Amino acid sequence: MLLCYNLFYFDGMQPHETSSKDASGDSIAVKQNNSHTTSFTSVRDSRKRKVRGLWQRGGKLYLQTRVEGEKSARRIPLKAVSLEAAKIEMANILKKKREVGLDKTGIRQTFTEYADKYVKFYESVNASGKKPRTVAREKHSLVHWKKTIGHVRLDKITKAMIVGFVKQRLQDGLTPRTANLDVIVLRSVLKEAREEGLISTMPTEGITPKKVVTPHRPLLSPADFQKLCEASSKCSKNGNQLLDYLKFLAFSGARRDEALTVAWENVEFDRGLLCIGSDGLSKNSQARYIDLNSNLEAHLRDMWERRAPDSKWLFPSPQRGKKDIPARTFRESLILARREAGAEWMAFHDLRHYFISMCVMAGIDFMTIAEWVGHQDGGVLIGKVYGHLLDGHKKNMATKLVFGLSLVKLPENNNCEASQAG
């Protein structure tokens, strides 16, 4: 025993310490004593220099850092066991501290506390992969979740709570599709909490989406579209801008939101092209080009002559003030216009159906239509879902169906009895 003690003593380490080397060759004296009474000691590298912010106790490494609002420095336990790994882990924690702040110590976070930080992070980080409108929709859905389970700790949320929330939403008159989307938002938040180690299991596991029955929607006819255009120009103070917007959707097939962010620099009259999604905010985050048809080009040229001189957008916000921002929505104006036109069922997406159906009836191949409207399936969805045709068009198509067979007229007395007599 005396010999072992002397070996440890002359090696510069205490009997309860071991040396651990990382990839860089730096060693740390890691104590093997697991007693909680062991005091914190600073960590030094192989050159006996203190590693800033890194401490150890009982064989475990800790990051020491100041947190705003806390009187004393906080020591955060690390998973790392080597100096190099500890430095990387410390850098990640400090980055999180700068961007969104560190979690509260003590009692686990409530759902409201974590949901607020979740939204704050995605509203402030452009490279998060979430589009601003997606974050806005998630934020709206989380308002309802916070009213129901906001006071519950993250690790105490149960499947029964979620099922109860969905049932209540359906009783309040919400559609099954909306309830399903609410669960998707909750799952996204809890999944991130699990990745951060705040929960170990997902309470959304095993929850079956409610069956959604898509009602049949009538195809918008040219006459219906004409009535809507006539009503939109006189329904509100934004009537003329709404009329331009409706025509743009009908002649281009653009989606409701992506059309609002089209700028005049995206219109190339000389090449006969219109670029949709150049800002990366289209549904599939990819830009696409639409060849200008005669109606679309005429409409864009007319809008160009009447464009706002202080805005780069095709549809600038009426309340933009000194800021040049696009309009957010024309939903309220549309409600007034369709009420005037007697088309309460119509939505902005019906104009996309209208464009695609007109393309199909014009004989344009599905692959070309798919490229114009931003489908990436080569036209499969066009044929299955969007290929609505007017009854009159189908009847005209039936008259063009010729089999190329000559019919043989049978003799009047060619019956079974005549055959037997013969």
pLDDT in tens, 90-107: 999 999 888 888 876 656
157: closest CA among 196, 119, 121, 191?
Answer: 191
The β-bridge partners of 268 are 273
Mean pLDDT of the chain: 82
Record the pTM: 0.58
pLDDT band at 3 (very low <50, low <70, confident <90, very high): very low
Residue 22 has pLDDT above 70, yes or no: no
Give 111-195's CATH code, choosing from 3.40.1310, 1.10.3470, 1.10.150, 3.40.30.
1.10.150
Give pLDDT, residue 181.
Answer: 95
The residues spanned by each domain of the chain are 17-99, 111-195, 222-399
pLDDT in tens, 246-295: 999 999 999 998 999 999 999 999 999 999 987 766 666 688 999 999 99
Fold matches, 111-195 and 222-399? no
By mean pLDDT, which of 17-26, 234-243, 282-291 is the weakest? Answer: 17-26
Positions of E strands within 66-168:
74-77
Give pLDDT, residue 37.
Answer: 47
Cα separation, 131 vs 180, in Å, equals 20
199: closest CA among 132, 257, 152?
Answer: 152
Give pLDDT, residue 392.
Answer: 65
Residue 422 has pLDDT above 50, yes or no: no
Residue 243 has pLDDT above 90, yes or no: yes
Mean pLDDT across 304-313: 92
Mean pLDDT across 392-412: 66
CATH homologous superfamily for the domain 222-399: Intergrase catalytic core (1.10.443.10)
pLDDT band at 346 (very low <50, low <70, confident <90, very high): confident
Who has greater pLDDT, 173 or 25?
A: 173
Cα separation, 258 vs 308, in Å, equals 20
Residue 421 has pLDDT above 50, yes or no: no
Give pLDDT, residue 390.
Answer: 58
